[in-house]
Structure 1
Amino acid sequence: MAHPTIAVLERHLLLYRRLWRATVFSFFVVPTLFLVSIGLGVGAYVGDFDGIRYTHWILPGLMAMLAFQIGVSESTYGILTEFEWSGGFLTMRNTRVRIRDMIASWLLYVLFVLAIAVTVFLIVGLLFGGLKSVWTILTPFICGLVAVSVAAPTTAFSAHVRNDSYFPLLFRLAVVPATLFSGVFFPVEQMPAVVRPLAYLSPLWHGVELNRAAILGTPTAWPGVAHIGVLLSWLVLGWAVAQTTFRRRLMI
């Protein structure tokens, strides 16, 4: 018999079979539109950054942003559905599936969806000539770490709320500011010094820095291990809180 984590993952993948066509289409359209509209459009006015074309400069950030948004979006309605509407997690409570199996299987599911998105993004980036280094092969791992580092705390949040009215607040107060002010479209150093620490707290900024170093060969703002350490801290903290919220919801 399959391990409980794998069994639950298989369930998520079976459900995903109904949606994959729409999501894969969006994976093609979103990076292409961003690169064309912002990379080429805005880039015509911005010029180059440190001798790098703006289109190529934002490409690593857009990839990290995609990972960040997938980690959040997949862990909002998906988790709420399993608690409030389909009752999947409530049913699992009566089996040998443990809470850690539920959380681990969900994070693995997020990584599966992300793997498709990153593969598509790399193809688009290659067509735009933006992949400059052999270390680009590390970007799927970097994006995976970014995705789970935000998916874990988002999973905890979604397990806590009782309806989806909280999700617009999450996107407006957390996702949108992080997307705009984490170095994706302009260097964080151009922001006022008093607000830079907020960018440094964002998992997205650390993913952007690591991706940019891997794809363009530029140095990271902090040592690589420090960036990875922050992402792992978000993952560990999110996992711990998710364990608590799941236990309360399932009354275990």
Structure 2
Amino acid sequence: MSAVEPGGATRTGWVAGDVDHAAVAGTARRWGWWFVAEHRIRAMRSYVVSWALIGVGSPFLFLMGLGLGLGLLVDANRGSQGVDGVPYLTFLAPALAMATAMQTASQENTYGVFGGFKWFPMFFAMHGTPLAPWQIVVGFQVSVLARVVLPLAAFAGVIAIFGIGDPLRALLLVPIGMLLSTAVGFAVMSWVATQTEDRGQLSFIERFVVVPLTLFSGTYFPLETLPIGLQWIGWISPLWHAAELGRVALYGAELAPGMVLVHLLYLVALAAVTCGLSIRTFRRRLDR
């Protein structure tokens, strides 16, 4: 019997007839989600240079521009109080890191998911193998996390370089951002997977969901400064919950008792519910 490489490919020198198809199917059923993630991560190599430049450069430009520009004005106007008891740049940095994670997850799950069904139907090809719909869904999100980790790590590095916060505490922004990416990613995926034609509605996510959430989730100013009629946007926004956790992690922002647990549970619940919706939608569409 021939040895079988991960994914079912035979080693060089072995003929196809020697493949143990039962073993290959069993491997796919156990590790199929990783095969999907690996496939997408390998495909990212075609634009890895631009991906890396954007992932590393954006945090530096954001924090330099807003921190040394807007931040100086805010701190000068508020004196030693700053915002939330810290300099404006310290208040802003965790939220910017979370906003970048949300935007990246949204982008990857918009055209990436739609294209996987419509333009280059790799999901249907995957479904023709022993891979289950849940493995395709989970594997796709794992590959998105690979995209999100770089800018989050870059934010942590820039925060350390600028002396905005403790480097070790800044590293906590990475797992918080990954949790946000998972929640947002599954939420976007669960809707995009229902779309069969592109009539311009895919761009609505960026323009009418991501941008408003970035503006009204306490990113650039405390949520409490908004009129009460607009604060509800932040309450339901995953970005606000993640930004609050990021501020606690970076500089120990004070929250009401139990709010850290509320923020965590909200993000986990959103990820779990929308993951289930995504799997159900994928199953229905792939079985047509």
Question: Structure 1 length as normaliser, TM-score?
Answer: 0.95
Matched residue, 1:86: 120
Aligned residues: 252
Distance (Å, rounded) in 2 between the aligned partners of 1:203 and 1:50? 20
Higher RCO (C-alpha under 8 Å, 6+ residues apart): 1
Partner of 1:216: 251
Query: What corresponds to 1:231 in structure 2?
Result: 267
The answer to whether the 8 Å contact 1:133/1:217 transfers is: no
Distance change (3 Å), C-alpha of 1:80 and 1:145: same
Residue identity opposite 1:74 in structure 2? E
Give me the identity figure in percent: 29
Equivalence map 1:150-229=2 (5 Å): 150-164=184-198, 165-221=200-256, 223-229=259-265
Question: Which structure has the larger Rg over C-alpha atoms?
Answer: 2
Deviation, structure 1 residue 30: 1.5
Deviates further, 5-14 or 43-52: 43-52
Cα offset, 1:140, TM superposition: 1.2
Match among 112, 123, 129 for residue 146 of structure 2 = 112
User: SS of 1:166's equivalent?
Assistant: coil
- Once the two structures are superposed, what CA deviation does each residue of 1:69-114 show, in whole Å capped at 9, x if it has no partner? 1111111111111111111001111110001000110111111111
Spell out structure 1 runs of 4+ moving beyond 4 A.
none
Distance 2:253 2:136 in 1: 38
Q: Is the 8 A contact 2:159 2:170 kept in 1?
A: no
1:226/1:50 CA distance change after superposition, 3 Å: closer
TM-score normalised to structure 2 length: 0.83
CA displacement 1:95-154 (0-9 Å, x = unmatched): 100010001101111111111221112111111111237433322111110000000011
Distance (Å, rounded) in 1 between the aligned partners of 2:169 and 2:156: 13
2:165 equivalent to 1:131: yes
- The one-letter amino acid paired with 1:241 is L
- Is there any run of 5+ residues in structure 1 with no aligned partner, and where? none
Cα separation, 1, equivalents of 2:286 and 2:168: 47
From 33, 44, 51, the equivalent of 1:23 is: 51
State the AA in 2 paired with 1:211. Answer: G
Report what 1:6 is aligned to.
34
Shift in Å, 1:171: 1.3
Q: Per the alignment, in what secondary structure is the counterpart of residue 109 of structure 2?
A: coil
**Number of the residue aligned with 1:45:** 73
More moved, 29-38 vs 227-236: 29-38
2 CA distance for matches of 1:107 and 1:249? 18
Deviations 1:141-194 (A, max 9, x none): 111100000000111122111244212211111100100111110000001112
Per-residue CA deviation, residues 198-219 of structure 1 (Å, 9 max, x unaligned), is 2110000000000011011112
